Amino acid sequence: MEQYIIKGGNPLVGEVEISGAKNAALGILAAAIMTDDTVLIENLPDVRDINVLLEAMESIGVRVERLTRHAVMLNSAQIGDVRVDYEHIKRIRGSYYLIGALLGKYKRAEVLLPGGCNIGSRPIDLHIKGFKALGAKVTIRNGFIIAKADHLHGSHIFLDTVSVGATINIMTAAAMAEGYTIIENCAREPHVVDVANFLNSMGANIKGAGTDVIRIRGVQRLHRTEYSVIPDQIEAGTFMFAAAATKGDVMVKNVIPKHLEATTAKLLEIGCEVEEFDSAVRVVAAKRLCSTNVKTLPYPGYPTDMQPQIGVTLALARGTSIVTESIFENRFKYMDELARMGADVRVEGNTAIITGVEKLSGACVSAPDLRAGAALVIAALAAEGVTVVDDIVYIQRGYEEFDVKLRSLGAEIEKVSNEKEALKFRLRCG
């Protein structure tokens, strides 16, 4: 089993290129099957979740041609089956986007219920409510979610909770429903906008993505397109906090600074300098950072996917911080791991109380999920001594070459798969 072994203490300095947004790409890849024409998608991140989704798509007859590591050509004219029972699909959340896409195009979908990071209960009742409102019958049988309709029709749908997944999934199916659909209380995340832009580039008629009301006039046919996925704002934010926690100076390139506003605001608040350029942000942390309070909220609020990264940074800041997680109930599992590194943290319900310490020290920790895993790597980079991070398979789901990018910024980090390699690293780093 692979691990990261990290010798902390080096400030991260230099430039890093951000990859395409995983969560946008999942929605876009699924939506790409809705045309029989060939679709080119660029700026795809080369990460596990994306590769699993592509394999699942191949398993139902989608022709997948990888042009480069980050570009893929898809043709879905020969889809032979609307039943997706590719075993590994259970491991990823984004597989649920195939339900909306298959239902929209073929009026029928059977997909293994999605899995994903264990960050709390992750119901899909809102997705189902939306599909039903569009005229589908939805049942769950033998671990599959089965949706069928004689025909899909437009509808007026109010989402009780702001949900990224439900917004994208219902919007995708409605793009090929008959008539007009209005979805209210939508998620406004950049990836919702990116999937809408992608569908529109194939001839869909979607308006309002990025606001809380999305209006869709269904079309009968979608056509070929070439599309480039937006940069990953969570990967970008992760490197921004890595710069902050290690007292570094990092230029984070290939980003849309507007998507990073909530992260930038918090970094400024805790004492970093953040300079914005057209497609880059530079984060400099010259002195010890100070405490703050933060509550996760749907976009444009502070993202839940950036909660662990600020949490570990605040563990080293002067004073006491309060972090409130309002989206997923199980996103503080990394706090126990952080405590092993000497952090002063206490979790009470959906709140973590963090009193900054002068130093963290290396320890053996496990990544409990994708973002928390990345956050523990940040803690390790800032800590004294050597840290081993286990279960990095979670991190690899969403970060492309995390170790390589960090090394290019001066981090001492190595991916190892046995004791001998770990020992070699320890000897080399002294």
48 is a contact residue toward ligand EPZ (CB under 6 A): no
- How far apart are CB 312 and ligand EPZ at their closest, in Å? 15
Tell me the window of 161-169, 273-281, 375-383, 405-413 that interacts with ligand EPZ (CB under 6 A): 161-169
94 is a contact residue toward ligand EPZ (CB under 6 A): yes
- How far apart are CB 150 and ligand EPZ at their closest, in Å? 24
259 is a contact residue toward ligand EPZ (CB under 6 A): no
Q: Where are the beta strands (DSSP E) in 18-151?
A: 38-42, 63-68, 71-75, 83-84, 108-112, 137-141, 144-148
164 is a contact residue toward ligand EPZ (CB under 6 A): yes
Q: Is 99 or 285 the residue whose CB approaches ligand EPZ more closely?
A: 99
Q: Is 303 or 342 the residue whose CB approaches ligand EPZ more closely?
A: 303
* DSSP per position, 359-410: --B--EEE--SHHHHHHHHHHHHHSBSEEEEE-THHHHTT-TTHHHHHHHTT
Q: How many residues bind ligand EPZ (CB under 6 A)?
A: 25
User: How many whole angstroms separate alpha carbon 400 and alpha carbon 82?
Assistant: 30
User: How many whole angstroms separate alpha carbon 214 and alpha carbon 289?
Assistant: 40
Q: Which helix (H) or strand (E) holds 242?
A: helix 233-245
Quick check: 283 and 274 in contact, CB under 8 A? Answer: yes
Quick check: 25 and 229 in contact, CB under 8 A? Answer: yes
Q: Name the one residue in this structure whose structure tokens are 């994306």.
A: 50
Q: Which of residues 288-347 bind ligand EPZ (CB under 6 A)?
A: 304-305, 327-328
What residues act catalytically? Answer: 117
Among 70, 188, 259, 371, binds ligand EPZ (CB under 6 A): 371
Per-residue x/- mask for ligand EPZ, residues 120 to 159, rule CB under 6 A? --xxxxxx--------------------------------
Tell me how far apart the 2 most distant CA atoms of the chain are, in Å.
68
User: How many whole angstroms separate alpha carbon 1 and alpha carbon 392?
Assistant: 9
- How far apart are CB 124 and ligand EPZ at their closest, in Å? 5
Q: Which of residues 227-256 bind ligand EPZ (CB under 6 A)?
A: none
Cα 262 to the center of its chain, rounded Å: 16
- Strand ranges across the sheet with 344-348: 293-295, 320-324, 351-355, 344-348
Tell me the window of 114-122, 279-287, 310-318, 359-367 that interacts with ligand EPZ (CB under 6 A): 114-122
Q: Is 375 or 386 the residue whose CB approaches ligand EPZ more closely?
A: 375
Among 95, 163, 292, 313, binds ligand EPZ (CB under 6 A): 163
Binding site for ligand EPZ (CB under 6 A): 23, 26, 93-94, 117, 119, 122-127, 161, 163-166, 187, 304-305, 327-328, 370-371, 398
